[in-house]
Amino acid sequence: MSNAYQFHKSILREYDIRGIVGETLHESDATALGRAFATAVSRATGKAAPQIVVGRDGRVSSPGMEAALVEGLKAAGAEVIRIGTGPTPMLYFAATTMGTDGGIQVTGSHNPPHHNGFKMMLGKKSFFGESIQEIGRISAAGDLNVGAGSDRHEDIKDRYIARLLEEAVPNNLAIGWDPGNGAAGAVLGRIVAGLSGRHIIINEAVDGTFPNHHPDPTEPENLEQLQHLVAENKLDLGIAFDGDADRIGAIDAKGRIIWGDQLLAILAADLLKDRPGSTIIADVKASQVLFDEIAKLGGKPLMWKTGHSLIKTKMAETGSPLAGEMSGHIFFADRFYGFDDAIYAGLRLITAVVHAGVSLADLRDRLPDTVNTPELRFAVAEEEKFAIVDKVKAALAAAGASVDATDGVRVKTNDGWWLLRASNTQAVLVARAEGSDEAALGRLKASLTQALVAAGVTPPKI
């Protein structure tokens, strides 16, 4: 096999490697990635035969991708531990507790069935950003280690399930669970069997064609089946996961979606009782209600950039015990390892409800109501997206606006706030606005539109 290999330019993303199977992503890419990643890990650790743990989700293409990846890893001298099908957090758990030099999960996450990709770790940390670009350079230059590695299978499900069940608390709640035919289904039945209360699981079978609905709990239509389940069975709450179980969705007994920032507010209230004054991190898309709530509860709110790798890095830097994103990534470093595990977050949500002594619906009702837009995404040229945000930022600064530039621009007014940022993973601008009422939201949307037009962008009606 030739040493030099060029990846399709679209698949090396900020947080992972991701593409369309048979179009931009092939098994040959998996092999090339294995060789380049094992080479990078070897050089970072100084080990000729680094130990790398590999897992996979339940997509139809994942077994073939995983086998090709392992061949590449071995060709560069790695010792590979294969843990089979399971959630991405199970791979994180393996890499963290087994002390391996690296880890790779084959997963398309919440993307359509014909997509797939790879999430990586170096030691116990995320492997992202410039490190992923370096993989591309190593591969394109053919600057690769050559070795005769090995692979073996190890079943860590028992250990992973036992670790999660350490969070089980006595309760008499009735709970619906929807893994959406994603990788959580590989372990969820055994976890739920270890909990008290009444439980119903739907879409448990791991099926990479996702026959019942798409596994992305941030889209309301993907939660409709769980809402019906909660209503028909008079359940206290419902919990859903994305395709690789690193993102959570939740429904209360009234059938309302509890969004990522609302979940974080509820989880923070429970945590801050034990750890007063803690820094709680949320991304720039989160509601002002969340930041205000954390401060009111005696915590230190910190707004940070969107992206699970960036959030995890900031948590380690600040010693934060809890962080989250609007997208449903929830990260616990309190009694856990600091990575985003949606099943663990679900168990902590049950704990929070039990400790509060009231229903999830009651906890949701305690949060102030606001009126907001969904996440608005509109296509722009890849090479222009950051320049447009910079142009908007400069105009706002000249006008003396109140701007937070942590990640794009978040503009605060008496009506509320609006956000504009460039996506790190797609050729789109992302916008969101939140106001105290409909009239306030209308003014914020008009302000956002005006800023975009002034920067030479004609936005769709928002």
Q: How many CB atoms lie within 10 A of CB 449?
A: 18
Distance CA 277, CA 260 (A): 22
Pick from 131, 128, 190, 198: nearest CA to 165: 190
The angle subtended at Cα 79 by Cα 45 and Cα 33, nearest 5°, is: 75
Lookup result for tokens 């977050």: 345
| C-alpha span between 43 and 117 (Å, rounded) | 23
Indicate which residues carry an active-site annotation.
109
Contact 54, 80 (CB under 8 A): yes
From the list 225, 161, 154, 230, the residue with the least C-alpha distance to 193 is 161
Token readout for 42 is 């070897």
